[in-house]
Structure formats: C-alpha cells, structure tokens
C-alpha cells in the first residue's frame, strides 16, 4: 500500500539533498520518478531541485493553480511511476495535498513530500499544516542550532543579520536571509 510521507525540518537541514538521494535510489534501480518543486523558489535554476551541497535534478514546477494529480496521472499512464517526490512542500495548497493523498491511495504511487514545517514567525504554512494532518508518515530531518541543540525554527534576518519579526510569509532566501535555531534562541532573537 502506497503512502504519503512528509519529511519536514528547519532551513539547512538537507531536505533537498535527502529528496535527491531518494530519487537517485529509485532511478538507479530502473524505476521512474516524477519530481516537483515550487515555482516561487528562484534561488537556483528554475525547474530544478538544487541542494546546497551541489546536487540537482530537473523537476516540474508547481504553483497554487497546478493540478498535480492530473500531471501525475498523465505521466503514470505513459509508464508506471514508482514514486512522486515534492520539494518545497510548504508551498502546496491544501487541495494539492489532498491530490497527493489521492495519488498514494488511488494510483498506488508513494509520495514523498519535503518542506519546512513553520515560517519565520513560527506559524505553519498551509501545505505543511495539511501534510501534518493527513500524511501517513511524519519524518523529522534534524538540523543543529549554533548552541548544539536541535534547530526547529527559521529566523528571518535582514542584511545586517538582525532578526525580522514582520513581513510576508513567503520571502525566498537562503543563508543570507534565514538562520535555523532552536526554539530558545529563536525566541530570544525576536525579543
């Protein structure tokens, strides 16, 4: 029975690297996969999942209007898909998460979704909230705060490295804009 998996973590935990390794494992065994990434993520090449350690793979871009179920069903019809992998899953809509569950349940294709749990204010993203509610398996990928404790929060910083507490939920950036921290240091930085 295929399942919907949600791999979540703070920034810089290796979510994209882990996704690309899973994709490689399937493809190395001659199995077909389909990769998705958020169109809004323009940090690297568009239509590409790229990890900070230099791994990358082409992917189908999605935005709020994308019918992921239709794209997967069409691709699956042309040749059996062994797995669907979604990067930046926090940017999924609740309906797209429903579609992913339908892919696992109806098509029998496992779906591995990777993303942030919370934003820079400690609030759930729509896609993450829905995945936390309906995924068959929740897997935390660990990252480390500068103090050595587990990093669970994403602190947004300005150009001078000062904590940012207000703004749009989505602002694309990497190490220049976000720091993964434990809850204690996240809270202290915002106070």
pLDDT of residue 138: 98
Indicate the domain borders of the chain.
Answer: 4-142
Of 85, 39, 35, 32, residue with least CA distance to 57:
35
Of 104, 105, 55, 60, residue with least CA distance to 83:
104
Backbone angles phi, psi at 129, to 5 degrees: -60, -45
pLDDT of residue 74: 96
**pTM metric for this prediction:** 0.91
**CATH, domain 4-142, list 3.40.140.10, 3.40.50.300, 3.40.50.150, 3.40.50.2300:** 3.40.50.300
88 is catalytic: yes
Catalytic residue among 28, 88, 188, 191: 88
Given the structure tokens 């999924």, which residue do they identify?
A: 92
Of 158, 185, 189, residue with least CA distance to 171:
158
Give the Å distances, CA to CA, from 168 to 61, 96, 119, 120, 142: 22, 22, 10, 10, 26
Please indicate whether residue 187 or residue 41 has the higher confidence score (pLDDT): 187
Look over the chain and give the mean of its residue pLDDT values, rounded to a whole number: 90
Please indicate whether residue 80 or residue 168 has the higher confidence score (pLDDT): 80
Please indicate whether residue 77 or residue 177 has the higher confidence score (pLDDT): 77
- Label residue 53 by pLDDT band (50, 70, 90): confident
Of 119, 116, 121, residue with least CA distance to 190:
121
Contact 83, 109 (CB under 8 A): yes
pLDDT tens digit sequence for 94-149: 999 999 999 999 999 999 999 999 988 888 999 999 999 999 999 999 999 999 99
Count CB neighbours of 33 within 10 A: 20
SS3 67: coil
- Label residue 176 by pLDDT band (50, 70, 90): low
33 pLDDT above the threshold of 80:
yes
């Amino acid at each position: 029975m295929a399942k919907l998996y949600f791999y979540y973590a703070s920034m810089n935990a290796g979510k994209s690297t882990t996704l690309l390794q899973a994709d490689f494992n399937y493809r190395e065994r001659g199995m077909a996969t389909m990769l998705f990434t958020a169109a809004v993520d323009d940090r690297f090449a568009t239509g590409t999942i790229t990890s900070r350690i230099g791994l990358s793979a082409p992917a189908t871009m999605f935005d709020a209007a994308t019918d992921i179920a239709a794209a997967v069903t069409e691709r699956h019809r042309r040749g059996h898909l062994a797995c669907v992998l979604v990067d930046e899953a926090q940017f999924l809509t609740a309906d797209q998460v429903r579609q992913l569950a339908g892919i696992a349940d109806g098509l029998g294709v496992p779906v591995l979704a990777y993303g942030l749990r919370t934003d820079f204010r400690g609030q759930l993203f729509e896609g993450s909230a829905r995945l936390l509610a309906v995924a068959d398996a929740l897997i935390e990928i660990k990252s480390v705060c500068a103090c050595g404790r587990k990093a669970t929060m994403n602190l947004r910083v300005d150009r001078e490295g000062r904590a940012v507490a207000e703004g749009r939920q989505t602002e694309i950036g990497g190490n220049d804009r976000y720091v993964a921290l434990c809850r204690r240091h996240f809270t202290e930085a915002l106070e």
